[in-house]
Amino acid sequence: MNDRINILNVTDHGLRNPRSGRIRSEANQVVSRRNPCDKQKEEFKIGTWNVNTMLKHGKLDEIKEQMKKVNLDVLGVSETRWSGNGDFRSEEFRIIHSGL
């Protein structure tokens, strides 16, 4: 009886629990990398503009010029006063709108 192995790890304080929260395992640890590809981050610029109206002559050209000047990729405009929905191209710009 004295040669018996103490499988339950019983001490005079009760059952012994692992202190670190980890139980020793023979399995290898797995390390995952969040970004396995070494890609450089690309800058993507987005802006907003309350234009008050797009009904003014030359307003679309003014907006395109400002987008080029500050190098914007996407611009959200509000208060265009355009009616209906549409999708069209003007030079290298794509305009998608949804109005009244």
Please give the backbone phi and psi of residue 11, each rounded to the nearest 5 degrees, phi first: -120, 180
In a domain, 30, yes or no: no
In a domain, 81, yes or no: yes
For residue 37, the SS3 value is coil
Whether the pTM exceeds 0.85: the reply is no
pLDDT, position 60:
93
pLDDT, one tens digit per residue, over 25-68 is 565 566 656 665 666 677 889 999 999 999 999 999 999 999 99
pLDDT bin (cut points 50, 70, 90) of residue 5 is very low
In a domain, 14, yes or no: no
- Neighbouring residues of 41: CB distance < 8 A, sequence distance ≥ 6: none
Please give the backbone phi and psi of residue 85, each rounded to the nearest 5 degrees, phi first: -120, 150
In a domain, 16, yes or no: no
In a domain, 33, yes or no: no
In a domain, 51, yes or no: yes
In a domain, 73, yes or no: yes
pLDDT, position 62:
94
pLDDT, position 14:
54
| CB-based burial label for 63 (10 Å; 0-12, 13-18, 19+) | buried
Q: Give the span between the Cα atoms of 39 and 7, in whole angstroms.
A: 51
Looking at the structure of the chain, the number of domains it has is 1
Q: State which residues form the domain around 62.
A: 46-98
In a domain, 86, yes or no: yes
